[in-house]
């Protein structure tokens, strides 16, 4: 019997009208998360990852116009759901871990009060029961002296502890899906590794679906089951972790991979690769490949119309006209592109 995905997103589009134009930061994104699966959404800042997450959470800014063929949580369609329904779901069945816990946590309330509020919003629990559950969760995420933390304010905790509190809060109502938006960007490398390990362990223990949003392909190695690479509001490549990291097919993914050091291969003092140029402002309909301005392999066929996502085998897909077996590329083109930029 086919398993129902925890999250199913089809044809998600977000438009933002401005006085002089309309931005299209998310264009026809499809995303599926199965129970117990970790899906990493990867791309540079400005590629549409966070807006995709906010659209899934029903948290887009008021001026944004989301349109989707389907957004469903375990089979329940949320396309056009009321604000009341979204409020019932958020914090209960779907939870989000934000990038900067200092701004996501309320600085005026003690940690214990913020945790109790979430629980009492969604469950009929007494103050004592809420405290017990909060203590249990703070202990689970490895916070020392949890009773003491409950009476502290966010500014009294370190960045790593605040992020652990955010994770504990996300777990309070045993959600089916957690969206973690750059959960480790504000942390130093050792705390980053601890938080990622914690998220992975919790995800394996509880079987929840996890959408991990990050700009860092290195972060997702060993963590993600599947990787979705976004650029210019579109999905450029999607596949298993092994497929995307082992044999990146889209030139954008290739560029991202070139920009991270490889243990044992990158020599001391060696210049890392980079993708020339910046992410362009997303206006107007697509009439050609969205990566054409920065792609070292661009040629005439790339400008003949919008490029469709196509199958490269075993569920590995890419939005590019190049051969799906990875042939037909001259890696030295990256050097020429970098020199020209």
Sites of contact with ligand SF4 (CB under 6 A): 251, 289, 291-292, 295, 297-298, 302, 307, 320-322
With the C-alpha atoms ordered 275, 276, 282, 284, is the resulting torsion angle positive or negative?
Answer: negative
- What is the closest distance, in whole angstroms, from the C-beta atom of residue 127 to ligand SF4 in the complex? 56
Q: Which tokens hold the place of 58?
A: 């029903």
Q: Which tokens hold the place of 9?
A: 């997103």
- Residue 98 or 291: the one with the smaller Cβ distance to ligand SF4 is 291
How many Å apart are CA 304 and CA 11, to the nearest integer? 22
- What is the closest distance, in whole angstroms, from the C-beta atom of residue 236 to ligand SF4 in the complex? 7
- Residue 54 or 295: the one with the smaller Cβ distance to ligand SF4 is 295
- Residue 261 or 284: the one with the smaller Cβ distance to ligand SF4 is 284
- What is the closest distance, in whole angstroms, from the C-beta atom of residue 292 to ligand SF4 in the complex? 4
- Residue 223 or 236: the one with the smaller Cβ distance to ligand SF4 is 236
How many Å apart are CA 135 and CA 141, to the nearest integer? 10
- Residue 104 or 321: the one with the smaller Cβ distance to ligand SF4 is 321
How many Å apart are CA 276 and CA 21, to the nearest integer? 26
- What is the closest distance, in whole angstroms, from the C-beta atom of residue 287 to ligand SF4 in the complex? 13
How many Å apart are CA 176 and CA 239, to the nearest integer? 22
How many Å apart are CA 58 and CA 79, to the nearest integer? 10
Q: How far is CA 241 from CA 53, 65, 248, in A?
A: 20, 32, 10
- What is the closest distance, in whole angstroms, from the C-beta atom of residue 235 to ligand SF4 in the complex? 13
């Amino acid at each position: 019997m086919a398993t129902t995905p925890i999250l199913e997103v089809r044809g998600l589009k977000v438009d933002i009208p401005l006085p002089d134009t309309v931005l299209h930061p998310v264009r026809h994104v499809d995303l599926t998360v199965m129970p117990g699966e970790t899906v990493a959404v990867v791309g540079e800042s400005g590629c549409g990852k966070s807006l995709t997450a906010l659209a899934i959470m029903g948290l887009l800014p008021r001026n944004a116009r989301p349109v989707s063929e389907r957004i469903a949580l375990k089979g329940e369609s949320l396309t056009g759901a009321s604000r009341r329904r979204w409020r019932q779901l958020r914090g209960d069945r779907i939870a989000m871990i934000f990038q900067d816990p200092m701004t996501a946590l309320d600085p005026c309330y003690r940690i214990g009060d913020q945790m109790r509020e979430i629980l009492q919003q969604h469950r009929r629990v007494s103050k004592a029961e809420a405290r017990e559950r909060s203590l249990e969760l703070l202990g689970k995420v490895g916070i020392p002296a949890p009773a003491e933390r409950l009476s502290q304010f966010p500014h009294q905790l370190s960045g790593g502890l605040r992020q652990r509190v955010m994770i504990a809060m996300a777990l309070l109502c045993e959600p089916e899906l957690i969206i973690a938006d750059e959960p480790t960007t504000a942390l130093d490398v050792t705390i980053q590794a601890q938080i990622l390990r914690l998220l992975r362990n919790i995800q394996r223990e509880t079987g929840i679906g996890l959408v991990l949003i990050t700009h860092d392909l290195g972060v997702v190695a060993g963590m993600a089951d599947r990787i979705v690479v976004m650029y210019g509001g579109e999905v450029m490549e999607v596949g298993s972790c092994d497929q995307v990291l082992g044999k990146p097919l889209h030139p954008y993914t290739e560029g991202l991979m070139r920009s991270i050091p490889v243990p044992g291969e990158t020599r001391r003092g060696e210049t890392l690769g980079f993708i020339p140029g910046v992410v362009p402002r997303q206006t107007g309909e697509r009439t050609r490949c969205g990566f054409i301005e920065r792609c070292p392999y661009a040629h005439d066929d790339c400008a003949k119309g919008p490029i469709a996502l196509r199958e490269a085998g075993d569920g590995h897909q890419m939005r590019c006209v190049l051969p799906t077996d990875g042939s037909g590329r001259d890696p030295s083109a990256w050097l020429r592109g970098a020199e020209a930029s």
